[in-house]
Structure 1
Protein backbone atom coordinates (compact mmCIF):
# COMPACT_ATOMS: atom_id res chain seq x y z
CA UNK A 1 0.00 0.00 0.00
CA UNK A 2 1.33 3.45 -0.91
CA UNK A 3 1.92 5.83 1.97
CA UNK A 4 -0.50 8.69 2.36
CA UNK A 5 1.35 11.67 0.91
CA UNK A 6 -1.38 14.10 1.79
CA UNK A 7 -0.60 14.12 5.52
CA UNK A 8 2.52 15.73 7.04
CA UNK A 9 5.03 13.56 8.82
CA UNK A 10 5.05 13.75 12.58
CA UNK A 11 7.23 12.36 15.35
CA UNK A 12 7.38 8.56 15.14
CA UNK A 13 8.17 6.51 18.24
CA UNK A 14 9.96 3.20 17.81
CA UNK A 15 7.81 0.39 19.34
CA UNK A 16 10.76 -1.39 21.00
CA UNK A 17 13.18 1.32 22.05
CA UNK A 18 10.65 4.08 22.70
CA UNK A 19 13.00 6.64 21.08
CA UNK A 20 11.22 9.40 19.19
CA UNK A 21 12.49 10.45 15.77
CA UNK A 22 11.66 14.06 14.90
CA UNK A 23 11.16 14.80 11.24
CA UNK A 24 10.94 18.47 10.50
CA UNK A 25 9.20 19.53 7.37
CA UNK A 26 10.91 22.94 7.38
CA UNK A 27 12.37 25.60 9.66
CA UNK A 28 9.89 27.25 11.98
CA UNK A 29 10.05 30.93 12.74
CA UNK A 30 10.94 31.57 16.40
CA UNK A 31 8.21 33.06 18.53
CA UNK A 32 8.90 36.71 19.37
CA UNK A 33 8.21 37.89 22.89
CA UNK A 34 5.62 40.57 23.59
CA UNK A 35 8.25 42.88 25.08
CA UNK A 36 10.44 42.74 21.97
CA UNK A 37 7.48 43.34 19.65
CA UNK A 38 6.33 46.26 21.79
CA UNK A 39 9.77 47.90 21.79
CA UNK A 40 10.19 47.51 18.03
CA UNK A 41 6.72 48.95 17.41
CA UNK A 42 7.47 51.86 19.74
CA UNK A 43 10.71 52.60 17.86
CA UNK A 44 8.83 52.68 14.55
CA UNK A 45 6.12 54.99 15.93
CA UNK A 46 8.65 57.38 17.48
CA UNK A 47 10.65 57.44 14.25
CA UNK A 48 7.53 58.34 12.27
CA UNK A 49 6.81 61.12 14.78
CA UNK A 50 10.37 62.43 14.40
CA UNK A 51 10.05 62.49 10.61
CA UNK A 52 6.83 64.51 10.86
CA UNK A 53 8.32 66.98 13.36
CA UNK A 54 11.45 67.50 11.30
CA UNK A 55 9.50 67.93 8.05
CA UNK A 56 7.16 70.53 9.54
CA UNK A 57 10.06 72.38 11.16
CA UNK A 58 12.08 72.58 7.95
CA UNK A 59 9.11 73.58 5.79
CA UNK A 60 8.21 76.41 8.18
CA UNK A 61 11.85 77.32 8.76
CA UNK A 62 11.33 80.18 11.23
CA UNK A 63 13.66 79.21 14.04
CA UNK A 64 14.80 82.38 15.81
CA UNK A 65 13.02 85.57 16.85
CA UNK A 66 15.22 88.46 17.96
CA UNK A 67 13.30 91.64 18.85
CA UNK A 68 11.76 92.72 15.54
CA UNK A 69 13.66 90.27 13.33
CA UNK A 70 12.77 86.68 12.50
CA UNK A 71 15.50 84.42 11.17
CA UNK A 72 14.70 81.24 9.30
CA UNK A 73 16.10 78.68 6.92
CA UNK A 74 14.26 80.15 3.94
CA UNK A 75 13.37 83.74 4.85
CA UNK A 76 14.51 86.75 6.79
CA UNK A 77 11.58 88.71 8.21
CA UNK A 78 11.17 92.07 9.90
CA UNK A 79 8.26 92.95 12.17
CA UNK A 80 7.23 96.52 12.98
CA UNK A 81 4.30 98.11 14.86
CA UNK A 82 2.14 94.99 15.14
CA UNK A 83 2.02 94.65 11.38
CA UNK A 84 2.41 91.46 9.40
CA UNK A 85 5.99 90.24 8.99
CA UNK A 86 7.79 91.46 5.91
CA UNK A 87 9.79 88.49 4.67
CA UNK A 88 12.56 88.37 2.10
CA UNK A 89 14.07 85.37 0.36
CA UNK A 90 17.35 87.23 -0.07
CA UNK A 91 19.07 86.50 3.23
CA UNK A 92 21.83 88.97 2.42
CA UNK A 93 19.34 91.69 3.39
CA UNK A 94 20.01 90.74 7.01
CA UNK A 95 23.47 92.35 6.59
CA UNK A 96 25.25 89.39 8.15
CA UNK A 97 28.23 88.01 6.24
CA UNK A 98 27.93 84.41 5.14
CA UNK A 99 24.33 84.04 6.26
CA UNK A 100 22.90 83.21 2.84
CA UNK A 101 25.46 80.50 2.09
CA UNK A 102 25.32 79.11 5.61
CA UNK A 103 21.53 78.86 5.64
CA UNK A 104 21.62 77.09 2.29
CA UNK A 105 23.96 74.53 3.81
CA UNK A 106 21.83 74.20 6.96
CA UNK A 107 18.57 73.55 5.13
CA UNK A 108 20.23 71.15 2.68
CA UNK A 109 21.71 69.07 5.50
CA UNK A 110 18.43 69.11 7.43
CA UNK A 111 16.48 68.02 4.34
CA UNK A 112 18.92 65.16 3.73
CA UNK A 113 18.37 64.09 7.33
CA UNK A 114 14.64 63.73 6.66
CA UNK A 115 15.34 61.70 3.50
CA UNK A 116 17.67 59.35 5.38
CA UNK A 117 15.12 58.99 8.18
CA UNK A 118 12.33 58.13 5.73
CA UNK A 119 14.42 55.37 4.15
CA UNK A 120 15.38 54.12 7.61
CA UNK A 121 11.75 54.08 8.70
CA UNK A 122 10.81 52.16 5.56
CA UNK A 123 13.40 49.47 6.30
CA UNK A 124 12.27 49.19 9.91
CA UNK A 125 8.68 48.67 8.84
CA UNK A 126 9.54 46.18 6.09
CA UNK A 127 11.67 44.14 8.47
CA UNK A 128 8.65 43.68 10.75
CA UNK A 129 5.99 43.12 8.10
CA UNK A 130 7.99 40.67 5.96
CA UNK A 131 9.90 38.58 8.48
CA UNK A 132 12.59 36.33 7.06
CA UNK A 133 16.27 35.57 7.57
CA UNK A 134 17.14 39.07 6.32
CA UNK A 135 14.85 40.92 8.73
CA UNK A 136 17.61 41.57 11.25
CA UNK A 137 19.87 42.99 8.54
CA UNK A 138 17.11 45.28 7.29
CA UNK A 139 16.44 46.44 10.85
CA UNK A 140 20.15 47.13 11.42
CA UNK A 141 20.48 49.10 8.17
CA UNK A 142 17.37 51.11 9.06
CA UNK A 143 18.84 51.91 12.49
CA UNK A 144 22.12 53.03 10.92
CA UNK A 145 20.19 55.30 8.55
CA UNK A 146 18.49 56.87 11.57
CA UNK A 147 21.94 57.45 13.04
CA UNK A 148 22.94 59.19 9.81
CA UNK A 149 19.75 61.26 10.04
CA UNK A 150 20.72 62.30 13.58
CA UNK A 151 24.18 63.39 12.45
CA UNK A 152 22.79 65.41 9.53
CA UNK A 153 20.02 66.96 11.61
CA UNK A 154 22.46 67.93 14.35
CA UNK A 155 24.73 69.42 11.71
CA UNK A 156 21.89 71.61 10.46
CA UNK A 157 21.08 72.78 13.98
CA UNK A 158 24.71 73.53 14.80
CA UNK A 159 25.18 75.41 11.53
CA UNK A 160 22.16 77.58 12.31
CA UNK A 161 23.40 78.28 15.84
CA UNK A 162 26.94 79.11 14.72
CA UNK A 163 25.71 81.51 12.03
CA UNK A 164 23.51 83.42 14.48
CA UNK A 165 25.54 83.01 17.67
CA UNK A 166 25.69 86.77 18.20
CA UNK A 167 21.88 87.04 18.04
CA UNK A 168 20.87 83.95 19.98
CA UNK A 169 18.92 84.04 23.23
CA UNK A 170 17.34 81.01 24.84
CA UNK A 171 13.87 82.55 24.74
CA UNK A 172 14.34 83.58 21.14
CA UNK A 173 14.15 80.06 19.75
CA UNK A 174 10.75 79.39 18.23
CA UNK A 175 8.58 76.30 18.50
CA UNK A 176 9.80 75.13 15.09
CA UNK A 177 13.39 75.12 16.31
CA UNK A 178 12.47 72.98 19.30
CA UNK A 179 10.55 70.63 17.00
CA UNK A 180 13.72 70.08 14.99
CA UNK A 181 15.72 69.65 18.19
CA UNK A 182 13.24 67.04 19.44
CA UNK A 183 13.29 65.23 16.10
CA UNK A 184 17.09 65.10 16.17
CA UNK A 185 17.02 63.64 19.67
CA UNK A 186 14.43 61.05 18.63
CA UNK A 187 16.57 60.04 15.65
CA UNK A 188 19.47 59.35 18.00
CA UNK A 189 17.35 57.58 20.61
CA UNK A 190 15.60 55.33 18.08
CA UNK A 191 18.84 54.50 16.26
CA UNK A 192 20.69 53.44 19.39
CA UNK A 193 17.66 51.59 20.77
CA UNK A 194 17.17 49.76 17.48
CA UNK A 195 20.78 48.64 17.32
CA UNK A 196 20.74 47.62 20.97
CA UNK A 197 17.61 45.49 20.77
CA UNK A 198 18.93 43.91 17.58
CA UNK A 199 22.08 42.85 19.42
CA UNK A 200 20.09 41.37 22.32
CA UNK A 201 17.92 39.10 20.18
CA UNK A 202 19.29 35.89 18.70
CA UNK A 203 19.45 35.57 14.91
CA UNK A 204 17.01 33.19 13.26
CA UNK A 205 19.71 31.11 11.60
CA UNK A 206 21.38 30.51 14.97
CA UNK A 207 18.07 29.35 16.42
CA UNK A 208 17.65 26.96 13.50
CA UNK A 209 21.19 25.66 14.03
CA UNK A 210 20.60 25.11 17.75
CA UNK A 211 17.35 23.26 17.07
CA UNK A 212 19.01 21.13 14.42
CA UNK A 213 21.85 20.19 16.76
CA UNK A 214 19.38 19.38 19.53
CA UNK A 215 17.39 17.18 17.16
CA UNK A 216 20.48 15.31 15.94
CA UNK A 217 21.54 14.59 19.52
CA UNK A 218 18.20 12.99 20.31
Structure 2
Protein backbone atom coordinates (compact mmCIF):
# COMPACT_ATOMS: atom_id res chain seq x y z
CA UNK A 1 0.00 0.00 0.00
CA UNK A 2 2.86 2.35 0.82
CA UNK A 3 4.59 1.68 -2.51
CA UNK A 4 1.35 2.43 -4.37
CA UNK A 5 0.94 5.72 -2.48
CA UNK A 6 4.52 6.75 -3.28
CA UNK A 7 4.03 5.95 -6.97
CA UNK A 8 0.77 7.90 -7.00
CA UNK A 9 2.50 10.93 -5.47
CA UNK A 10 5.31 10.72 -8.04
CA UNK A 11 2.77 10.50 -10.86
CA UNK A 12 0.88 13.52 -9.50
CA UNK A 13 4.12 15.48 -9.15
CA UNK A 14 5.10 14.68 -12.75
CA UNK A 15 1.73 15.69 -14.11
CA UNK A 16 1.60 18.88 -12.12
CA UNK A 17 5.21 19.82 -12.77
CA UNK A 18 4.18 20.71 -16.31
CA UNK A 19 3.77 24.45 -16.32
CA UNK A 20 0.70 26.15 -17.66
CA UNK A 21 0.93 28.81 -20.33
CA UNK A 22 0.02 31.48 -17.76
CA UNK A 23 2.83 30.44 -15.40
CA UNK A 24 5.38 30.33 -18.23
CA UNK A 25 4.23 33.76 -19.42
CA UNK A 26 4.52 35.28 -15.93
CA UNK A 27 8.00 33.80 -15.38
CA UNK A 28 9.14 35.08 -18.79
CA UNK A 29 7.74 38.52 -17.95
CA UNK A 30 9.65 38.55 -14.64
CA UNK A 31 12.89 37.65 -16.43
CA UNK A 32 12.29 40.41 -19.01
CA UNK A 33 11.60 43.02 -16.31
CA UNK A 34 14.71 42.00 -14.35
CA UNK A 35 16.77 42.33 -17.54
CA UNK A 36 15.36 45.84 -18.09
CA UNK A 37 16.18 46.73 -14.47
CA UNK A 38 19.76 45.49 -14.91
CA UNK A 39 20.18 47.61 -18.06
CA UNK A 40 18.73 50.72 -16.38
CA UNK A 41 20.87 50.28 -13.29
CA UNK A 42 24.02 49.67 -15.37
CA UNK A 43 23.45 52.84 -17.40
CA UNK A 44 22.81 54.79 -14.21
CA UNK A 45 25.97 53.56 -12.50
CA UNK A 46 28.19 54.02 -15.56
CA UNK A 47 26.99 57.57 -16.22
CA UNK A 48 26.82 58.38 -12.51
CA UNK A 49 25.59 61.99 -12.79
CA UNK A 50 22.54 61.98 -10.54
CA UNK A 51 21.92 65.51 -9.26
CA UNK A 52 22.23 69.00 -10.73
CA UNK A 53 21.86 71.88 -8.27
CA UNK A 54 23.18 75.44 -7.98
CA UNK A 55 25.37 75.11 -11.05
CA UNK A 56 26.94 71.91 -9.72
CA UNK A 57 26.57 68.39 -11.05
CA UNK A 58 26.98 65.70 -8.41
CA UNK A 59 27.80 62.19 -9.50
CA UNK A 60 29.05 58.87 -8.27
CA UNK A 61 32.39 59.26 -10.05
CA UNK A 62 32.77 62.99 -10.76
CA UNK A 63 31.94 66.41 -9.41
CA UNK A 64 31.29 69.04 -12.06
CA UNK A 65 30.72 72.78 -12.12
CA UNK A 66 29.21 74.85 -14.89
CA UNK A 67 31.41 77.74 -16.02
CA UNK A 68 30.22 81.02 -17.52
CA UNK A 69 30.59 79.60 -21.04
CA UNK A 70 28.20 76.76 -20.07
CA UNK A 71 31.03 74.23 -20.26
CA UNK A 72 31.31 71.52 -17.62
CA UNK A 73 34.48 71.33 -15.59
CA UNK A 74 34.66 67.93 -13.97
CA UNK A 75 37.03 66.44 -11.43
CA UNK A 76 37.31 63.03 -9.82
CA UNK A 77 38.28 64.60 -6.50
CA UNK A 78 34.85 64.95 -4.88
CA UNK A 79 36.30 66.99 -1.99
CA UNK A 80 36.24 70.00 -4.33
CA UNK A 81 32.49 70.19 -3.68
CA UNK A 82 33.24 71.29 -0.08
CA UNK A 83 30.79 68.79 1.41
CA UNK A 84 31.95 67.00 4.54
CA UNK A 85 32.46 63.26 4.10
CA UNK A 86 31.42 63.18 0.45
CA UNK A 87 34.58 61.42 -0.72
CA UNK A 88 34.13 58.45 1.64
CA UNK A 89 30.34 58.52 1.38
CA UNK A 90 30.28 58.51 -2.41
CA UNK A 91 32.83 55.68 -2.49
CA UNK A 92 30.40 53.66 -0.38
CA UNK A 93 27.45 54.61 -2.59
CA UNK A 94 29.11 53.65 -5.86
CA UNK A 95 30.48 50.41 -4.37
CA UNK A 96 27.06 49.33 -3.07
CA UNK A 97 25.23 50.27 -6.28
CA UNK A 98 27.85 48.56 -8.47
CA UNK A 99 27.63 45.43 -6.32
CA UNK A 100 23.84 45.54 -6.70
CA UNK A 101 24.23 45.37 -10.50
CA UNK A 102 26.60 42.38 -10.23
CA UNK A 103 24.22 40.54 -7.87
CA UNK A 104 21.27 41.31 -10.16
CA UNK A 105 23.13 39.94 -13.20
CA UNK A 106 23.92 36.76 -11.29
CA UNK A 107 20.30 36.48 -10.14
CA UNK A 108 19.07 36.99 -13.71
CA UNK A 109 21.33 34.21 -14.93
CA UNK A 110 20.02 31.82 -12.27
CA UNK A 111 16.42 32.69 -13.21
CA UNK A 112 17.12 32.02 -16.89
CA UNK A 113 18.94 28.75 -16.18
CA UNK A 114 16.03 27.54 -14.05
CA UNK A 115 13.69 28.01 -17.01
CA UNK A 116 15.92 26.75 -19.80
CA UNK A 117 17.28 23.65 -17.99
CA UNK A 118 14.20 22.31 -16.26
CA UNK A 119 15.01 19.57 -13.79
CA UNK A 120 14.15 18.58 -10.23
CA UNK A 121 16.00 21.63 -8.87
CA UNK A 122 14.62 24.25 -11.28
CA UNK A 123 12.14 25.65 -8.75
CA UNK A 124 14.87 25.86 -6.11
CA UNK A 125 17.07 27.73 -8.62
CA UNK A 126 14.19 30.08 -9.36
CA UNK A 127 13.80 30.83 -5.63
CA UNK A 128 17.54 31.43 -5.29
CA UNK A 129 17.49 33.80 -8.28
CA UNK A 130 14.56 35.70 -6.78
CA UNK A 131 16.44 36.04 -3.49
CA UNK A 132 19.44 37.46 -5.39
CA UNK A 133 17.14 40.00 -7.04
CA UNK A 134 15.78 41.02 -3.63
CA UNK A 135 19.35 41.34 -2.34
CA UNK A 136 20.08 43.59 -5.30
CA UNK A 137 17.06 45.69 -4.30
CA UNK A 138 18.44 46.07 -0.76
CA UNK A 139 21.90 47.08 -2.03
CA UNK A 140 20.69 49.53 -4.67
CA UNK A 141 18.12 51.16 -2.39
CA UNK A 142 20.82 51.56 0.27
CA UNK A 143 23.00 53.31 -2.30
CA UNK A 144 20.20 55.61 -3.46
CA UNK A 145 19.21 56.55 0.10
CA UNK A 146 22.84 57.15 1.08
CA UNK A 147 23.23 59.47 -1.91
CA UNK A 148 20.18 61.44 -0.79
CA UNK A 149 21.47 61.71 2.78
CA UNK A 150 24.89 62.91 1.61
CA UNK A 151 23.42 65.66 -0.58
CA UNK A 152 20.31 66.49 1.45
CA UNK A 153 21.09 70.24 1.38
CA UNK A 154 21.16 70.29 -2.44
CA UNK A 155 18.18 68.10 -3.25
CA UNK A 156 15.39 69.50 -5.38
CA UNK A 157 12.85 67.44 -7.26
CA UNK A 158 13.77 69.05 -10.57
CA UNK A 159 17.48 68.62 -9.87
CA UNK A 160 17.47 64.85 -10.31
CA UNK A 161 18.85 63.76 -13.66
CA UNK A 162 17.49 61.11 -16.01
CA UNK A 163 20.15 58.62 -14.88
CA UNK A 164 19.01 59.03 -11.26
CA UNK A 165 15.45 58.21 -12.30
CA UNK A 166 16.79 55.18 -14.19
CA UNK A 167 18.27 53.92 -10.93
CA UNK A 168 15.05 54.73 -9.05
CA UNK A 169 12.98 52.70 -11.55
CA UNK A 170 15.54 49.86 -11.38
CA UNK A 171 15.24 49.75 -7.57
CA UNK A 172 11.44 49.50 -7.88
CA UNK A 173 11.70 46.75 -10.52
CA UNK A 174 14.18 44.75 -8.42
CA UNK A 175 11.75 44.79 -5.50
CA UNK A 176 8.65 44.03 -7.55
CA UNK A 177 10.21 41.16 -9.50
CA UNK A 178 12.00 39.62 -6.51
CA UNK A 179 8.76 39.47 -4.54
CA UNK A 180 6.78 38.29 -7.58
CA UNK A 181 9.33 35.57 -8.31
CA UNK A 182 9.09 34.15 -4.79
CA UNK A 183 5.29 34.42 -4.79
CA UNK A 184 4.75 32.61 -8.09
CA UNK A 185 7.09 29.86 -6.94
CA UNK A 186 5.09 29.40 -3.73
CA UNK A 187 1.68 29.25 -5.38
CA UNK A 188 2.78 26.86 -8.16
CA UNK A 189 5.03 24.55 -6.15
CA UNK A 190 3.82 20.97 -6.75
CA UNK A 191 4.87 19.84 -3.28
CA UNK A 192 2.29 22.10 -1.67
CA UNK A 193 -0.49 20.56 -3.78
CA UNK A 194 0.54 16.97 -3.07
CA UNK A 195 0.51 17.65 0.66
CA UNK A 196 -3.02 19.06 0.44
CA UNK A 197 -4.21 15.88 -1.33
Q: What TM-score comes out, normalization by structure 1 length?
A: 0.80
2:139 to 152, 161, 165: 152
Matched, 1:70 2:72: no
SS at match of 2:58: strand
- Map 1:75-90 onto structure 2 (within 5 A): 75-90=62-77
How far apart are the structure 1 equivalents of 2:74 and 2:91?
A: 17
Please list every run of 5 or more consecutive structure 2 residues that lacks an aligned counterpart in the other structure: 1-7
How far apart are the structure 1 equivalents of 2:14 and 2:132?
A: 30
How far apart are the structure 2 equivalents of 1:143 and 1:180?
A: 19
The structural deviation recorded for 1:83 is 2.8
SS at match of 2:170: helix
Q: Deviations over 1:126-154 (max 9, x none)?
A: 00000011001000000000000000000
Partner in structure 1 of residue 171 of structure 2: 184
1:202 to 189, 192, 195: 189
Select the structure with the greater relative contact order (CA < 8 A; seq sep ≥ 6). 2
The count of residues paired between Structure 1 and Structure 2 equals 186
How far apart are the structure 2 equivalents of 1:28 and 1:194?
A: 22
Partner in structure 1 of residue 98 of structure 2: 111
Matched, 1:91 2:78: yes
User: Structure 1 residues 206, 184: closer, same or farther in 2, change over 3 A?
Assistant: closer
SS at match of 2:189: coil
Q: Deviations over 1:3-22 (max 9, x none)?
A: xxxxxxxxxxxxxxxxxxx9
- Map 1:29-68 onto structure 2 (within 5 A): 30-68=17-55
The structural deviation recorded for 1:84 is 2.0
Q: What TM-score comes out, normalization by structure 2 length?
A: 0.89
How far apart are the structure 2 equivalents of 1:101 and 1:51?
A: 25
The structural deviation recorded for 1:206 is 6.9
